[in-house]
Amino acid sequence: MDLTPATALPKLLAAAWLLPLASFVVILFVGKRLGPHGKWAGYLAVGAIVSAFLLSCVAMFAVWLPNHELPVAHHGEHHDEGDQHDGAPADDDHQHGTAALLQDAPLTACADHDSPFQLAAFQENEAHADGHAVEEGHAANPPPTYYFGDWYSLGQFGALKLTIGYYIDALTVTMFCMVTLIASCVHIYALGYMHDELHDPYHDHEVIVHGHHLHRPGRFHRFFQYLSLFCFSMLGIVIAGNVAMVFVFWELVGICSYFLIGFYFERHSASTAANKAFIVNRVGDFGMLIGMMALWASLGTFAFGDKQDAKGQTVLTESGAIAEPGIFSQLRTAENGYRLVPPASMIAEETRNDPAIEAEDAAAGKAGHWLLLVAGVGIFCGCVGKSAQFPLHVWLPDAMEGPTPVSALVHSATMVAAGVYLVGRFYPAFCPEALLVIAIIGCITLSLAATIAITATDIKRVLAYSTVSQLGYMMLALGLGGWIAGLFHLITHAFFKSLLFMCSGSVIHAVHTNDMTEMGGLRKKMPITAYTMLIGCLAIIGAGVPLTPIGFSGYFSKDSIIEQAWSHAQTNGGVYWAFLAMAVIGASMTAFYMFRLWFMTFTGAPRDHHKYDHAHESPRVMTGPLVLLAIFAIAVAWPAFRLTGLLEQAQPVGTAAGGSGVLIEDLVVPAEHLSHAPNIKLRAGLAAFSSAFIGVFGAAVVYLWGYLNPREIKQTFKPIYTLLWNKWYFDQLYNFLFIQPALFIGRQIAAFDRGVIDWFLHACAWTVRLFSMVFDVVFDRTLVDGTVNTAANWTWDFGLLLRRFQTGSLRQYVLFIVMGTWFMCLAYFAAAFVLMS
């Protein structure tokens, strides 16, 4: 088989992408007939997703890795990264050439004002003797190796080209492996978890219909049908080669989440939650549409990458320019040293043509940046909706109404990951101001969700808020310039969060309740679940030995986020330290609520003996994926596996070096490699460790050892507790701000409808009726009826006349016959006489 990446990767990943679709289609049409109650539908879906995983693994290990050498890992080797850090495996000549070009470029800000590189170098002086070399090496990372092309062109409308295409780089392949692996685990787990749905009829104890529990047909096959479609949609986002395709699959993911969250749609809470998730996502998608339109209107393309030939080489015109540049190539051209400079098409025409304004703007370098900001924030709006960030985070905890495997999939690897992934994918298009917005949103989200998670007692809601909080971490990292850190955390989080959700599902499966206050001591009953969940908790709090490469997966990713926050705060100073503070405090809260959850569930005395007695360990089909995911949650981030190196291969063009703000002039996004400086690493590592330790210790004091009574704490902090228990009153606020006004407007419009439009229509109807009444009297009754009645009267009269002859008297009939005969004969003779004469 031809294993050259340019030909093999699109085929392999397309197969992996389309297998779940095939499974979906098959189950859609014949799902109910696959085995008893659709049981084989589950195996079909599992087969499809496992095959997709195997194909992704082939793509990763047989095609990608042998053909693309990994850069040297950083962990433990911070000192010489400046020399060895090559970024993407682009050829050195090219890189140096562009570096030189950067120095010659007249627009370069270095000479004029605070360059991000100079500043970074200045602040890193104490650690780096050769700071300038570091700057040169990272200043202009060229585009990463990627394979871009179209499978199918839907059509071209002027400049608008709609295609189904692919954009495959290291991030795509990594995401494929991660998504398919977790989806495989979730599918297998769901075979066990959804077993009840195989019963026909299924008894839904949470729905009361006419005083009885709802009985309905099992929906086992339908669940797997939706799961398959979900995986297909998510993989579609990951592999998409243009924004339009991303948007299509973005919406497909949204509708799949709607189906899955509303899987028990007979339950009112589930259908409401599904609606909420869908509607809230629409709000974000509106912003995303604006961002897409801004980008397309100014750049004239939806494509991520440049047009490539069959061998994966960029197609160039005769003059050496890129033939069909994608979004990123237009925003970060080689001429500009891969820095983000708005192209001429982004600058308003009058501005371009007016020398005065042009000179002024050029001096400030602001021309086109506002549009860039709008586009960036617009795209981010979509991510806010999908990844449940601060203003739109309200849907995700409610989405816990779906079955737990769905929660595990939606809240780890697929839907919420899509938002973070898209931010990562669009990273070259975000100007520093947009990144600041992302960081602020992420920071607010992480702290907000963490505080709510502390008081929640529903085991799945704790995990849901934990997810929101961790997504906030990722956004924060991305917003602070930590592209690798953010996506690194995305991948590690996917593993341990799916693990945690599936563990919680196992617990719920055993005790049939979500309420942690009814659990306790379950460790003895279900050890595998308990200890795999402990691994998940340790992974999410970032447990590890500080300053050594030993720890759970979260240790590496979370530390890199805190390092980046530290680097950012150190670079910008002042109020920017708040990001770091929130990240560290958030880490502490994460540790607290995660271990609160674990202690409340698995340790201590059982709170509800009835439920405890009935608890049991889940079947192997459920614990198997738990163990597998636990292994990944421990080890996936180990430096030996070079995950960060893999991500580094996909470092978006020109983003490794950070950037400096134009609209906010003193904003600097530090280059990511700077966060690996030993002094930052040391302090960040210690801060992360101590915060996590404090959190775990606090949880143990309250919930494990019982030194402090949680109820007393609740009493003391009652106002705060109430605030947190009510989730900062966000639902109430939105209800007051949006829902009630919307209902009010609706009522007003309804009143307008009834009062004005209906009135008008009724008036029209009355007019017509009046006219017809007049017409009726004048025309119908006289002319039409008169004509018809006259004809009828004639007929009637004629009938009456004829009736006289029907005397019924035999003798008269005889007379009539005789006379009739006589007249006929007379007529005959008369006629004959006339003819003869």
Q: Which residues contact 557 (CB under 8 A, 6 or more apart)?
A: 485, 488, 489, 491, 492, 493, 542, 637
**Shortest separation between residue 814's beta carbon and another protein, angstroms:** 4
| Torsion angle of C-alpha atoms 631, 632, 636, 637, degrees rounded to 10 | -80
Q: Among residues 686 and 826, whose Cβ is nearest to another protein?
A: 826
Which residues share a beta bridge with 166? 149, 240
| Binding piece for another protein, criterion CB under 8 A, among 388-396, 478-486, 510-518, 804-812 | 804-812
What are the structure tokens assigned to 20, written together? 């779940």
HSE (CB half, 13 Å, CA atoms) of 539?
30
Query: One symbol per residue from 557 to 596: x for binding another protein (CB under 8 A), - otherwise; what is it?
Result: ----------------------------------------
Q: Answer yes or no whether residue 344 interacts with another protein by CB under 8 A.
A: no
**Shortest separation between residue 817's beta carbon and another protein, angstroms:** 8
Q: Which residues ranging from 138 to 157 are in contact with another protein (CB under 8 A)?
A: none
**Shortest separation between residue 833's beta carbon and another protein, angstroms:** 11
Q: Among residues 158 and 799, whose Cβ is nearest to another protein?
A: 799
Q: Answer yes or no whether residue 708 interacts with another protein by CB under 8 A.
A: no
Q: Answer yes or no whether residue 835 interacts with another protein by CB under 8 A.
A: no
Q: Answer yes or no whether residue 310 interacts with another protein by CB under 8 A.
A: no
219 three-state secondary structure: coil
**Shortest separation between residue 808's beta carbon and another protein, angstroms:** 3
CA pair distance 748, 193, nearest whole angstrom: 47
| Binding piece for another protein, criterion CB under 8 A, among 579-587, 633-641, 733-741, 815-823 | 815-823
Q: Answer yes or no whether residue 836 interacts with another protein by CB under 8 A.
A: no
Which residues share a beta bridge with 147? 168
Residue 89 phi/psi, 5-degree rounding, is: -75, 45
Q: Which of 810, 834, 835, 836 binds another protein (CB under 8 A)?
A: 810
Q: Which residues contact 158 (CB under 8 A, 6 or more apart)?
A: none
Q: Among residues 784 and 819, whose Cβ is nearest to another protein?
A: 819
Q: Which residues ranging from 716 to 745 are in contact with another protein (CB under 8 A)?
A: none
Q: Among residues 1 and 802, whose Cβ is nearest to another protein?
A: 802
755 three-state secondary structure: helix
Which residues share a beta bridge with 157? 160
Q: Which of 814, 827, 830, 831 binds another protein (CB under 8 A)?
A: 814
**Shortest separation between residue 805's beta carbon and another protein, angstroms:** 7
Number of residues that bind another protein (CB under 8 A): 21
Q: Which residues ranging from 442 to 501 are in contact with another protein (CB under 8 A)?
A: none
**Shortest separation between residue 760's beta carbon and another protein, angstroms:** 59
Q: Which residues ranging from 744 to 803 are in contact with another protein (CB under 8 A)?
A: 802-803
User: Alpha carbon of 830 to those of 287, 616, 714, 833: distances in Å?
Assistant: 103, 120, 128, 5
Q: Answer yes or no whether residue 806 interacts with another protein by CB under 8 A.
A: yes
Q: Answer yes or no whether residue 837 interacts with another protein by CB under 8 A.
A: no
Q: How big is the CA angle at 615 (ends 192 and 396), to the nearest 5 degrees? A: 60
Nearest Cα residue to 484 out of 684, 675, 685, 632: 675
Nearest Cα residue to 301 out of 262, 244, 357: 244
Q: Kindly give the residue spans of alpha helices, DSSP state H, lying in 262-301.
A: 268-299
**Shortest separation between residue 209's beta carbon and another protein, angstroms:** 58
Q: Answer yes or no whether residue 808 interacts with another protein by CB under 8 A.
A: yes
Q: Answer yes or no whether residue 822 interacts with another protein by CB under 8 A.
A: yes
**Shortest separation between residue 767's beta carbon and another protein, angstroms:** 51
Q: Answer yes or no whether residue 125 interacts with another protein by CB under 8 A.
A: no
**Shortest separation between residue 797's beta carbon and another protein, angstroms:** 14
Q: Among residues 133 and 817, whose Cβ is nearest to another protein?
A: 817
Q: Which of 4, 548, 726, 821 binds another protein (CB under 8 A)?
A: 821
Q: Answer yes or no whether residue 829 interacts with another protein by CB under 8 A.
A: yes
Which residue type sits at 596? R
Q: Answer yes or no whether residue 827 interacts with another protein by CB under 8 A.
A: no
Q: Which of 205, 805, 835, 837 binds another protein (CB under 8 A)?
A: 805
668-669 and 659-660 beta bridge pairing: antiparallel
**Shortest separation between residue 774's beta carbon and another protein, angstroms:** 43
Q: Among residues 321 and 830, whose Cβ is nearest to another protein?
A: 830
Q: Among residues 155 and 799, whose Cβ is nearest to another protein?
A: 799
Q: Is 585 exposed, middle or buried (0-12, 13-18, 19+ CB in 10 A)?
A: middle
| Binding piece for another protein, criterion CB under 8 A, among 158-166, 427-435, 465-473, 812-820 | 812-820
Residue 668 phi/psi, 5-degree rounding, is: -125, 130
**Shortest separation between residue 790's beta carbon and another protein, angstroms:** 23
User: Alpha carbon of 606 to those of 519, 522, 592, 609: distances in Å?
Assistant: 6, 7, 21, 6
Q: Among residues 748 and 821, whose Cβ is nearest to another protein?
A: 821
CA pair distance 15, 481, nearest whole angstrom: 34
**Shortest separation between residue 825's beta carbon and another protein, angstroms:** 5
Q: Among residues 736 and 828, whose Cβ is nearest to another protein?
A: 828
CA pair distance 335, 352, nearest whole angstrom: 19
**Shortest separation between residue 823's beta carbon and another protein, angstroms:** 9
Q: Answer yes or no whether residue 815 interacts with another protein by CB under 8 A.
A: yes
**Shortest separation between residue 796's beta carbon and another protein, angstroms:** 13
Is the Cβ–Cβ distance between 36 and 198 less than 8 Å?
yes
**Shortest separation between residue 816's beta carbon and another protein, angstroms:** 9
Q: What is the CA radius of gyration of the chain?
A: 37
User: Alpha carbon of 86 to those of 145, 188, 570, 651, 816: distances in Å?
Assistant: 12, 40, 25, 11, 126
DSSP conformational letter for 653: T
- Helix then strand count (H, E) for the chain reads 36, 8
Q: Which of 279, 777, 784, 819 binds another protein (CB under 8 A)?
A: 819
CA pair distance 739, 692, nearest whole angstrom: 39
Q: Answer yes or no whether residue 830 interacts with another protein by CB under 8 A.
A: no
| Binding piece for another protein, criterion CB under 8 A, among 218-226, 366-374, 573-581, 811-819 | 811-819
Q: Among residues 353 and 821, whose Cβ is nearest to another protein?
A: 821
Nearest Cα residue to 514 out of 619, 454, 597: 597
3-state SS string over 664-711?
A: CCCCEECCHHHHHCHHHHHHHHHHHHHHHHHHHHHHHHHHHCCCCCHH
| Binding piece for another protein, criterion CB under 8 A, among 202-210, 297-305, 712-720, 820-828 | 820-828
Kindly state the greatest CA–CA separation across the chain.
149
Q: Among residues 111 and 836, whose Cβ is nearest to another protein?
A: 836
**Run of H or E including 202:** strand 202-209
How remote is the C-alpha of 734 from its chain's centroid? 21
Q: Among residues 748 and 812, whose Cβ is nearest to another protein?
A: 812
**Shortest separation between residue 793's beta carbon and another protein, angstroms:** 18
Residues in the chain: 837
Q: Which of 160, 756, 774, 825 binds another protein (CB under 8 A)?
A: 825
**Shortest separation between residue 822's beta carbon and another protein, angstroms:** 5
* Residues found near another protein in the complex (CB under 8 A): 802-812, 814-815, 817-819, 821-822, 825-826, 829
